[in-house]
A and B are shown apart, each in its own frame.
Chain A
C-alpha cells in the first residue's frame, strides 16, 4: 500500500464483520476534519476522538493506533465512537498482544491488525476469556448484574 498510514487488509488478523474489508489509506484526524471526502481515518493516542463525531456517517474505517500496548487511550476513543453510533469498521492496530484482545473487543473494536502475528490458538482462547462480564459497554452483552435480576 502506498499510503504509509493505514494497514492493508492482509495485515488484519482477526475480523468480526461480514462486510468487505476496507482497503484504502487512512488519513489523520486533522486531515479528516478538513477533507470532506475521507472515508477512513487513523486515531493516534493523543487525538480527540470526539472531533470525528460529526463525520461518522461518511466513515467506513477508523483505525486506532497503539504504538505501545500500555497506552490505553485508544480504549476510550473506541468506546466514544461506538457510543456515538459509529457502525463502521473499528480496527485496532500496532502493539497489540493476545492479552489485550478481549478488552479491545469489549470496547467496540471489530478488527485487529497487530504489528506481529499472534498465535491463533492463544488468541482464540483470549477472545473467549470471559463467559460473562461485569460492565456495560458498547459490545451489547448483558452484564452479570443484569443477568442476576432477569
Chain B
C-alpha cells in the first residue's frame, strides 16, 4: 500500500488547517454560506436532511487496518456509531457537526486519510478495481497510476473550479469491475505490441443524461499519462458550459462537439502540453510501484473442506480467484437480508480491520457495490475467517445476487431525493430471501437511486429502480438491461411507474419472466438481451 512521505503528510495537514480556518471564518460570519459551500464541499462536507454529512475519500478503494479502525472510531466519537460505504468507494458519515469537522479531518490525517475533493466541481476521488493487485486476470496493478493521478489531481490549481464534478477511474483488466466507462475519464491499462499503455475513454457518466464513454485514444504511453489527462481536462475546462448545471458534465461536451472534434482538440492540446514538462519524472512511478509490490505470498493448500454447506455456499458466492493459487480475495457483504446496503457500525469496521490484519496482509478494499474485500486471504484461512464474519453478521453469501442491492441514501438522508431507496432494498432482499429464490436467480444486479442523479447506478442495473415524485407521493420507475461491466449498457424504462408495494411485485414479476424464458445458464441480463423488453412489459402491464 502507498505510504505518505513528509510531503504528502504536509499537504493533508495543511489542508486540515486551511479548512479549520475556513470553518472559523464561516462561524465568525466572514464567509457567507454561498462562499463557504464550495469550500466545504471540496472537503466533502454536505448539508443533508438531518445534519452535515462528511464524505471521506478512500483512494482507489484501498485502505489498511489502522485506517479502517480510525473510520470506526470516528463513527463512534463524532457520529452515531455507523457509516455508509458508497458506490464511489468512499465512506459517508451522516450526523456531523460543523464544529467537529476540522477535528475529524485531523484524526483522519493522522492515518493518512482525508476528505479532499470528495465533492465539489473538481477532480474527485480516483476509483479503481477492488481486486487490483490481487486478481488473476490483471495485466498489472493499476494502483500506482491511480496514486499518481491522486497526487496530480489534489489541489490542481487549474482544475479546482471546473464546470462540474469530474470522476476518473483506472483499471488494468479486461473485466471491468469498476464501472470504468461510466466515468468522466475511464482509463484502461492495456498491452499493445509488447508495450504497456493507457486507453482513454472520455465522457461517460450517469445522472440525468447517462452516457457510455467513447474511446478517444487507444494507447497513451504510460510516461505521458498525466500529460494526456491534463489535456483532456483543459479542453473541458475551457469549453465546459457553466450556464446550465445539467449540461455541464464532460459527457455533454463530448456529445455536443462530437467525439472526433473533442479528440482533435485534446490531441492539439496534448502536443502543446508535451513541451510543458508537466509529466512527473519516471523515477516517481518507479517509486510508487514499490509500494504496491505483491506481499510475500506463501504456497499452501489449494483446496478446502466443503463439508459445511453454508461455508461452501459463501466460498462459491463471495470469493474471487487470486493471482496466487493458494489465495483468494474474499468479499465481506454489507448486504445482510433486510439490512441497509453499505452501512457498517463502528464495531464492524474495527472487526473488519482486525480480520484484515489477521488474514489479508493488513489490507482492505471498498467495492463500488458497497461491500468490503479482503484481497489476499489464504485458502487455508478461509474457514476461520468465515466463522468470525458469520458470528458478526457479516457472512451473507450473496455477492452479485438480488440481495446484493446497491441503494443510495435516498429520502431517508439525502436532500435531493424524491423517494426512499433503502426501505425498498430492505424489502426486496427480504422477499427474495424468504422465498428462497436468491440462488436460483444467480447473478442479478439490482440498483436503486432515490432521484435522477443516479448515485445508486440505476441506469447500470440489470434491474434499475429510480425514485420519482408523483404528486407529492413516492413513485418508482423500473428499468431493465443495464450493466456497468465490460458489457456496459444503459437500462431502459419498462413503462409507467409503481408505488412501493407495486414496484416490489414488479421486480418479482420480471424475475419470473426470466426464470420462465432462461436458456442454459443465461443470466437475467443475457435473457433480457435475447428476448427484449416485450415479454417483461406484457407481464407488468399486459
Contacts and interface: CB of A to CB of B under 8 A. Distances in A.
Nearest to B35: A97
B284 A145 contact: yes
A89 to B, nearest CB: 19
A145 B121 CA distance: 25
A71 B242 contact: yes
Contacts of A11: none
A83 B231 CA distance: 14
Interface stretch (A18-26, A28-36, A55-63, A130-138): A130-138
A25 B272 CA distance: 32
B290 interface: no
Interface residues of B, number: 42
Interface string B9-38: 011001000100110010000110001001
A1 interface: no
B154 to A, nearest CB: 6
Nearest to B158: A75
A130 B11 contact: yes
Contacts of B157: 75, 102-107, 133, 135, 137
A73 B237 contact: yes
Given A99-B22, A132-B10, A147-B7, A137 B238 contact: no
A143 B14 contact: no
Contacts of B281: 145-146, 149
B155 interface: yes
A70 B161 contact: yes
A100 B38 CA distance: 11
A87 interface: no
A104 B161 CA distance: 11
B306 interface: no
Contacts of A144: 7-8, 11, 151
Interface residues of A, number: 41
Contact of A135 (B8, B10, B156): B156
A143 B25 CA distance: 30
Contact of B242 (A45, A99, A122): A45
B21 A125 contact: yes
A70 B281 CA distance: 32
B296 interface: no
A13 interface: no
A9 interface: no
Contacts of A100: 161
A105 B158 CA distance: 10
B151 A134 contact: yes
B7 A99 contact: no
A21 B152 CA distance: 34
Contacts of B162: 72
Interface in B39-81: 39
B283 interface: yes
A137 B31 CA distance: 29
Interface string A67-103: 0111111011101000100000000000001011011
Nearest to B240: A73
Contacts of B22: 99
Contact of A72 (B152, B237, B276, B279): B237
A45 B8 CA distance: 33
B30 A145 contact: no
Given A71-B242, A75-B158, A148 B284 contact: yes
A2 interface: no
B14 to A, nearest CB: 6
A135 B148 CA distance: 11
B278 interface: yes
Contact of B276 (A69, A83, A145, A148): A83
B35 A72 contact: no
Contacts of B532: none
A136 B7 CA distance: 15
29 contacts: A69-B161, A70-B38, A70-B121, A70-B242, A71-B161, A71-B242, A72-B158, A72-B162, A75-B157, A75-B158, A75-B159, A76-B234, A77-B238, A102-B157, A103-B158, A107-B158, A119-B30, A129-B14, A129-B18, A131-B10, A132-B7, A133-B157, A134-B151, A135-B152, A135-B278, A136-B276, A136-B278, A148-B5, A149-B281
